[in-house]
Structure 1
């Protein structure tokens, strides 16, 4: 079989797999403190590999195949803290290709097990800052292909259509009371999701704003804030410590993060992210991951702003993955003790915000405009 024939067959396999999969659910989540504001969770945990990253992995493989970067027998290498690697291992196995995930040694054992279940193997490095360079070197050493989600996430996804997450959200919202969301809230690991949603909304003429919620230890917020304030971003910001919210936050700004696609950002303390994760899990009756908690803090922030301005409308955010991969961390009391979190205070703050509309402490929010389209002096 020629390489061109193999590529055509590989693309057909991926498309056939997509045709066998249903779309993910959009789940209403009432917020008693904010009547007239409807909140929805886009449940990406229902993908075959259990997370939002399933969409990204599919797009990355199709992009690499169309570019001629993969051939029969290629070893696929990726830098990932877990969920992207789980999804890429799935697609690599679908195509009969070896897969290696390069990830921090601190990654959840449950995620490592999920990668190995899909047929991949894990190459652990000590620092999250080193996974990109280590992936490049490993790919060179073994003659493999470095997929490089942090560079290609924003360009591999067809943001105009092709059932990307934005198209799916707007289609599912069509019969709701407020079909065009006032805000769509997401978080950044690569930046690909905020770029896809922001581009699609503008392309289709939807007046939806994009809020990107960034965890405590991440460089994206500071980079964005400098740009909004008119400061030079040429030197970028100092590297951040490794994020404790797995799957989102980066020590430095990645090429796939497109600030122009984002209307506002909020910096979320980790304790609040995890308290919101626990609150959403309790109200859904099933566990969700930490990044969903970060997103939910962003929802509470914009819901309060809308409420204070007397606005009704809808907010959509992303349930990124389930909590089953975090039994050793976010659902382990010993882990919280080791991190030094005051979860009683954080749980109380999130409960008061969702139940009584009380402002959340410790949030840093910056926006290009006010949520109603009027110019705003950036906060910060």
Structure 2
């Protein structure tokens, strides 16, 4: 039998150019700022905010989208004319639409109809098409169906997030954080605190900490209705709640394949009202306009800082600014929306005021 050759010079040339474009984007926007949160000097604790909102597409998901496209291109799954499909609640799809436009392929985002209109507009501005489902749990099967129907490629962030990123380095987010802390008073943080949407960020950070043999512990915050915390507690990789999260970008109705429980040292439940109160408090204190996942992160951080103060420990804690608040003007920053959700922010605001005044935490 004669050898079968499926290579095509034109196809490889297209892939080479697509790779170059995606890698050039990485060179232009390889790193993000690490801000210091203003805390009393006598506490001896520094909190750092890794500002992922300054990526070209405005969120932490820019890193994931870049990795997923490189993975798809390198695997031969994305070629000239391939329709790329994703199941996403918003920010990932915004970033993926950007990369699809960058390399010249069609993009379809499958998302719940409740996704914020700001994110829908951003996806469409990047040339993507939004395909809505009524229930959040339906996005997976619908994305798979659309990809098969079009002969396209389903990026499947919830499966591939933990493997598309090189957790050993290559300027991943963990390596970037540790490098930026090198000249700080406590260059090896006590804790890194993140949320989980796909689970890819926590998997990357947790693996990197072990790879580098660092004592830093990893905490994952989880909003109401998410399957991650109860699934992690029960050790059940199939746990489901069937409930979509109000905090876009984190929390899932099921334990996702990219969520790696074994690298997580602590999980912290955060009420949705607490996360929303915290982003509003952050804006008042610092002027930083951020999304709900950032507030959820910070609520967990403040509890950890108060614990360190009680125990007389000094050190640093790092978390992420996941995206900007302009995407949530009609939700987290809208009093009518908050009231319609039945959320009372006042008790959590009181907790925040007490913490910054005394260092004590009643959360």
Give the Cα–Cα distance (whole angstroms) in 2 for the partners of residues 360 and 110 of structure 1: 34
Partner of 1:377: none
Q: Give unpaired runs (5+ residues) of structure 2.
A: 1-8
Give the Cα–Cα distance (whole angstroms) in 2 for the partners of residues 219 and 178 of structure 1: 34
Report deviation, 1:217.
1.6
Give the Cα–Cα distance (whole angstroms) in 2 for the partners of residues 108 and 82 of structure 1: 8
Query: When the two structures are aligned, how many residues end up with a matched partner?
Result: 355
**TM-score normalised per structure 2:** 0.95
**Mapped pair 1:207 → 2:215:** yes
Is the Cα contact below 8 Å between 2:87 and 2:111 reproduced in 1? yes
Report deviation, 1:256.
0.2
Report deviation, 1:17.
1.6
Is the Cα contact below 8 Å between 2:137 and 2:242 reproduced in 1? no
Is the Cα contact below 8 Å between 1:272 and 1:294 reproduced in 2? yes
Partner of 1:12: 20
Give the Cα–Cα distance (whole angstroms) in 2 for the partners of residues 282 and 22 of structure 1: 30
**Mapped pair 1:318 → 2:320:** yes
Is the Cα contact below 8 Å between 2:192 and 2:216 reproduced in 1? yes
Partner of 1:195: 203
**Mapped pair 1:353 → 2:361:** no
Report deviation, 1:63.
0.5
Please, which of 149, 153, 162 is the counterpart of residue 141 of structure 1?
Answer: 149
Pairwise mapping of residues 1-380 of structure 1 onto structure 2 (< 5 A)? 2-32=10-40, 35-227=43-235, 233=236, 236-361=238-363
Q: Give unpaired runs (5+ residues) of structure 1.
A: 228-232, 362-380
Report deviation, 1:351.
2.0
Report deviation, 1:286.
2.9
Give the Cα–Cα distance (whole angstroms) in 2 for the partners of residues 133 and 264 of structure 1: 31
Give the Cα–Cα distance (whole angstroms) in 2 for the partners of residues 91 and 111 of structure 1: 16
Give the Cα–Cα distance (whole angstroms) in 1 for the partners of residues 241 and 141 of structure 2: 15
Is the Cα contact below 8 Å between 1:32 and 1:356 reproduced in 2? no
Is the Cα contact below 8 Å between 2:225 and 2:244 reproduced in 1? yes
Give the Cα–Cα distance (whole angstroms) in 2 for the partners of residues 140 and 38 of structure 1: 49
1:68-106: CA deviation from partner (whole Å, max 9, x where unpaired): 101100011000000000000000000000000000000
Is the Cα contact below 8 Å between 2:37 and 2:49 reproduced in 1? yes
**Residues 325 and 88 of structure 1, relative CA distance in 2, 3 Å threshold:** same
**TM-score normalised per structure 1:** 0.91
Give the Cα–Cα distance (whole angstroms) in 1 for the partners of residues 309 and 360 of structure 2: 11
1:360 is paired with a residue whose SS is coil
Give the Cα–Cα distance (whole angstroms) in 2 for the partners of residues 175 and 336 of structure 1: 41
1:2 is paired with a residue whose SS is helix
Report deviation, 1:167.
0.6
